[in-house]
């Protein structure tokens, strides 16, 4: 059974053809600098020591489930923390070994949307927000709103990736041509 990760979704959003070259033709990716930096920010973060008490005070958390490895029919992922909030909704919390720079990267949001979908299916709970903790900004906690549209866009992308991989569909190129400059597939990718 096909099981995607938030990385697959982030790659697809960078360029849908990554999914084809990497998972249909099985050509390994030598990551271009631009892409690598972006994905590195989102996925391969170094984790840090966590303080279990401050979140309860700060966010009104009733219950906290740590390092939750969750799956559903298409996606899998490990959520640093799943929080049960006072209004009985749940929220993913993700630690970032990063400095907060007054904006939230799209890759971070995409990860939280993926986790929201996983939490919905696993716990059967409503999810309308997530949290990022920037450990290099004195553990600043930033709330990210999550709508049903955000979750459904992830579901649609997962379905598109499924079709690419299972039906050998060759997808459209990214519309951002500057991403092609440092792409390791540029020699085989006809634009």
- Distance in Å, CB of 120 to ligand SF4, minimum: 31
Beta bridge partners of 70: 77
Closer CB to ligand SF4, 129 or 179, in the complex: 179
**Binding residues for ligand SF4 (CB under 6 A):** 15, 17-18, 173-174, 179-180, 183, 185-186, 189, 191
Closer CB to ligand SF4, 136 or 186, in the complex: 186
Closer CB to ligand SF4, 47 or 163, in the complex: 163
Euclidean distance between CA atoms 167 and 175, whole angstroms: 23
Euclidean distance between CA atoms 37 and 105, whole angstroms: 12
Closer CB to ligand SF4, 141 or 173, in the complex: 173
- Distance in Å, CB of 5 to ligand SF4, minimum: 19
Euclidean distance between CA atoms 41 and 161, whole angstroms: 22
Is the CB of residue 70 less than 8 Å from the CB of residue 79?
yes
- Distance in Å, CB of 163 to ligand SF4, minimum: 17
Euclidean distance between CA atoms 94 and 47, whole angstroms: 9
- Distance in Å, CB of 187 to ligand SF4, minimum: 8
Phi, psi (rounded to 5 degrees) for 157: -65, -40
Helix (H) or strand (E) holding 109: helix 106-123
Is 122 strand, coil or helix? Answer: helix
Closer CB to ligand SF4, 24 or 125, in the complex: 24
- Distance in Å, CB of 37 to ligand SF4, minimum: 15
CA 160 vs CA 35, 64, 80, 128, 157: distances in Å = 21, 33, 27, 24, 5
């Amino acid at each position: 059974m096909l099981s995607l990760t938030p990385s697959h979704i982030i790659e697809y959003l960078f360029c849908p053809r990554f999914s084809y070259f990497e998972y249909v033709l099985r050509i390994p990716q030598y990551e271009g600098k631009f892409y690598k930096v972006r994905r590195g920010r989102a996925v391969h973060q170094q984790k840090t020591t966590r303080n279990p008490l401050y979140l309860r005070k700060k966010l009104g958390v009733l219950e906290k489930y740590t390092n939750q490895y969750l799956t559903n029919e298409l996606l899998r992922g490990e959520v640093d923390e799943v929080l049960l909030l006072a209004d009985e909704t749940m929220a993913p919390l993700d630690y970032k070994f990063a400095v907060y720079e007054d904006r939230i990267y799209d890759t971070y949001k995409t990860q939280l949307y993926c986790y929201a979908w996983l939490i919905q299916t696993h716990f059967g709970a409503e999810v309308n927000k997530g949290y990022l903790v920037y450990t290099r900004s004195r553990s600043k906690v930033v709330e990210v709103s999550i709508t049903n549209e955000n979750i459904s866009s992830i579901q649609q992308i997962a379905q598109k990736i499924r079709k690419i991989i299972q039906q050998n569909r060759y997808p459209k190129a990214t519309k951002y041509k500057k991403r092609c400059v440092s792409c390791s597939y540029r020699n085989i990718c006809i634009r």
